[in-house]
Structure 1
Amino acid sequence: MKSINIKFMNLMKKWFIIPITMISVLTISCEDYLEEKNISGLTADEYYATEEGMEALVNSCYTTMRFWYGKENGMALTEIGTDLFTRGSGMEVPAVAMYNSDLNGANTAVEFYWNRFYAALNTCNAAIGRLPDSPLAEDVKSIREGEARFLRAFYLWHIVETWGGVHLFTEEVTDIQTTAYRSSVEDFYAQIIEDLQIALSQLPATSSQGGRVTKPAAEAFLARIYLFTGQNDLAAVHAKNVINNYGFSLLPNYNALWGTNNTVNSEAVWSVNYTNNLVLNHEMDDYEGNDLTIREGGNNSHLLYIMTYDQLPGMKRDIANGRPFSRFMPTAHLMDLFDETKDARFEGTFQTVWYCNNLANAPAGMALGDTAIYATKYIVPDSESSQHLYTTIDREWTYDANDKPIVRDRFMSIKKFLEPNRQSIAQMSGIRDAYVIRLAEMYLIVAEAEMNTNPGEALQYLNVVRQRAALPGQQAAMMATASDLNIDFILDERAREFAGEQMRFFDLKRTNKLIQRVQQWNPDAAPNIQDFHKVRPIPQSQLDAITNPGDFPQNPGYQ
Structure 2
Amino acid sequence: MKNKINKLIFIVAISLGITSCHDDLDQSPIDPDSFTEQDVFTDATSAKGALAKLYASLALTGQNGGDDGAADIADINQGFSQYTRMLFNLNELTTDHAVVGWGDPGLPDLHGMYWSASNDFSGAMYLRLAQEVSFCNSFILQASSLSEPEVEGFIAEARFLRAFAYYNLIDLFANVPLLTEITTELPVQSSRTDLFNFVETELLEIQDLLPNSQANEYGRVDRIAAMALLSKLYLNAEVWTGTPRYDDCVTFSNNVMNSSYTLHTSDLNGNGTAYDELFLADNDTNGAQNEFIFPIAFDGVQTATYGGSTFLIHGATGGTMDPSTLGINGGWGGYRTTKAMVEKFESPAIDLASLNSSLGGTPSDWGLVGDATENSWDGPDMEMFETSTNVFELYAQLSDGEMKFRFNEDWGNNYGDDGVDGVVEADGANISVTAGTYLINFDLNNFTYSLTIVPPPADKRGMFYTDGQNLEIAAIPPFKEGYAVTKFKNIDVNGNIGNDSSGEFTDTDLPMIRLAEIYLNYAEATLRGGGGDANLALSVINELRERAYGDASGNISSGELTLDFILDERSRELYWEGQRRTDLIRFNKFTSGDYLWPYKGNQPNGVSAGAFRNIFPIPNNTILTNPNLEQNQGY
TM-score bracket, normalised by the shorter chain, equals: 0.7 to 0.9
1:501 aligns to 2:571 (yes or no): no
For 1:105-504, what aligned pairs fall within 5 Å after superposition? Answer: 105-135=117-147, 137-138=148-149, 140-173=150-183, 175=184, 177=185, 179-205=186-212, 206-207=214-215, 209-229=217-237, 230-252=244-266, 253-264=274-285, 265=287, 266-276=290-300, 278=301, 280-282=302-304, 299-309=310-320, 318=324, 320=326, 322=328, 323-340=330-347, 346-352=459-465, 375=466, 392-395=468-471, 398-399=472-473, 407-420=478-491, 421-422=497-498, 427-453=503-529, 454-472=533-551, 475=552, 477-504=553-580
Q: 1:166 to 1:524 in 2, by over 3 A?
A: same
1: distance between equivalents of 2:594 and 2:57?
29
Q: 1:202 to 1:554 in 2, by over 3 A?
A: same
1: distance between equivalents of 2:116 and 2:567?
28
2: distance between equivalents of 1:49 and 1:345?
57
Query: What is the one-letter code of the residue matched to 2:158?
Result: A
Query: What is the one-letter code of the residue matched to 2:276?
Result: N
Query: What is the one-letter code of the residue matched to 1:167?
Result: P
Q: CA deviation at 1:70?
A: 7.5
Q: 1:46 to 1:89 in 2, by over 3 A?
A: closer
Runs (5+) with no aligned partner, structure 1: 25-35, 284-294, 311-315, 353-374, 376-390
Q: 1:320 to 1:171 in 2, by over 3 A?
A: closer
Q: Deviations over 1:283-326 (max 9, x none)?
A: 6xxxxxxxxxxx7776421122234226xxxxx65454753223
Partner in structure 1 of residue 112 of structure 2:
98
Q: CA deviation at 1:349?
A: 3.6
Q: 1:53 to 1:23 in 2, by over 3 A?
A: farther
Kindly indicate whether the alpha-carbon contact (under 8 Å) linking 2:152 and 2:209 is maintained by their aligned counterparts in 1: yes
Q: Deviations over 1:527-548 (max 9, x none)?
A: 46210111112111111212x2
1:76 aligns to 2:89 (yes or no): yes
User: What is the TM-score when the length of structure 2 is the normalising length?
Assistant: 0.68
**Counterpart of 1:435 in 2: which secondary structure?**
strand
Kindly indicate whether the alpha-carbon contact (under 8 Å) linking 1:350 and 1:412 is maintained by their aligned counterparts in 2: no
1: distance between equivalents of 2:27 and 2:265?
42
**Counterpart of 1:436 in 2: which secondary structure?**
strand
2: distance between equivalents of 1:62 and 1:468?
31
TM-align CA RMSD: 2.9
Partner in structure 2 of residue 355 of structure 1:
none
Q: CA deviation at 1:152?
A: 0.9
Kindly indicate whether the alpha-carbon contact (under 8 Å) linking 2:470 and 2:480 is maintained by their aligned counterparts in 1: no
Query: What is the one-letter code of the residue matched to 2:52?
Result: N
Q: 1:251 to 1:317 in 2, by over 3 A?
A: closer
Query: What is the one-letter code of the residue matched to 1:415?
Result: T
1: distance between equivalents of 2:311 and 2:614?
26
Partner in structure 2 of residue 4 of structure 1:
5
**Counterpart of 1:300 in 2: which secondary structure?**
helix
Q: 1:193 to 1:133 in 2, by over 3 A?
A: same
Kindly indicate whether the alpha-carbon contact (under 8 Å) linking 1:149 and 1:195 is maintained by their aligned counterparts in 2: yes
Q: 1:55 to 1:207 in 2, by over 3 A?
A: same
Q: CA deviation at 1:75?
A: 0.9
Query: What is the one-letter code of the residue matched to 1:530?
Result: G
2: distance between equivalents of 1:71 and 1:84?
16
Kindly indicate whether the alpha-carbon contact (under 8 Å) linking 2:40 and 2:50 is maintained by their aligned counterparts in 1: no
2: distance between equivalents of 1:545 and 1:499?
37
Q: 1:193 to 1:326 in 2, by over 3 A?
A: same
Kindly indicate whether the alpha-carbon contact (under 8 Å) linking 1:308 and 1:325 is maintained by their aligned counterparts in 2: no
Query: What is the one-letter code of the residue matched to 1:79?
Result: E
Q: 1:152 to 1:303 in 2, by over 3 A?
A: same
2: distance between equivalents of 1:90 and 1:428?
23
Partner in structure 1 of residue 359 of structure 2:
none
Q: CA deviation at 1:519?
A: 4.9
Residue 612 of structure 2 is aligned with which of 510, 532, 544? 532
Q: Deviations over 1:208-240 (max 9, x none)?
A: 522111112121111111212131122112212
**Counterpart of 1:64 in 2: which secondary structure?**
helix
Q: CA deviation at 1:149?
A: 1.4
2: distance between equivalents of 1:152 and 1:345?
41
**Counterpart of 1:239 in 2: which secondary structure?**
helix
Q: CA deviation at 1:464?
A: 2.1
**Counterpart of 2:117 in 1: which secondary structure?**
coil
Q: 1:538 to 1:259 in 2, by over 3 A?
A: same
Kindly indicate whether the alpha-carbon contact (under 8 Å) linking 1:450 and 1:457 is maintained by their aligned counterparts in 2: no
Query: What is the one-letter code of the residue matched to 1:211?
Result: G
Query: What is the one-letter code of the residue matched to 1:258?
Result: F
Kindly indicate whether the alpha-carbon contact (under 8 Å) linking 2:249 and 2:522 is maintained by their aligned counterparts in 1: yes
Partner in structure 2 of residue 48 of structure 1:
41
**How many residues of Structure 1 are paired with residues of Structure 2 in the alignment?**
471
User: What is the TM-score when the length of structure 1 is the normalising length?
Assistant: 0.77
Q: Deviations over 1:99-152 (max 9, x none)?
A: 12xx112211112111111111012122223333214x12x0221121011111
Q: Mark the structure with the bigger radius of gyration.
A: 2
The range that moved more, 333-342 or 149-158, is 333-342
Q: 1:552 to 1:88 in 2, by over 3 A?
A: same
Query: What is the one-letter code of the residue matched to 1:281?
Result: T
**Counterpart of 1:202 in 2: which secondary structure?**
coil
Q: CA deviation at 1:393?
A: 3.7
Kindly indicate whether the alpha-carbon contact (under 8 Å) linking 2:464 and 2:484 is maintained by their aligned counterparts in 1: yes
Q: Deviations over 1:242-278 (max 9, x none)?
A: 12232423324222323321344322222111124x2
Q: CA deviation at 1:13?
A: 4.3
Kindly indicate whether the alpha-carbon contact (under 8 Å) linking 2:175 and 2:191 is maintained by their aligned counterparts in 1: yes
**Counterpart of 2:519 in 1: which secondary structure?**
helix
Q: 1:269 to 1:18 in 2, by over 3 A?
A: closer
1: distance between equivalents of 2:310 and 2:178?
30
Q: CA deviation at 1:494?
A: 0.4
Q: 1:498 to 1:263 in 2, by over 3 A?
A: farther
Query: What is the one-letter code of the residue matched to 1:399?
Result: I
Residue 62 of structure 1 is aligned with which of 49, 55, 78? 55
Q: CA deviation at 1:94?
A: 1.0
Q: Deviations over 1:23-72 (max 9, x none)?
A: 59xxxxxxxxxxx844xxx7434543543443333222212321577743
**Counterpart of 2:621 in 1: which secondary structure?**
helix
Residue 630 of structure 2 is aligned with which of 544, 553, 559? 553
**Counterpart of 1:196 in 2: which secondary structure?**
helix
1: distance between equivalents of 2:347 and 2:463?
10
2: distance between equivalents of 1:21 and 1:282?
26
**Counterpart of 2:144 in 1: which secondary structure?**
helix
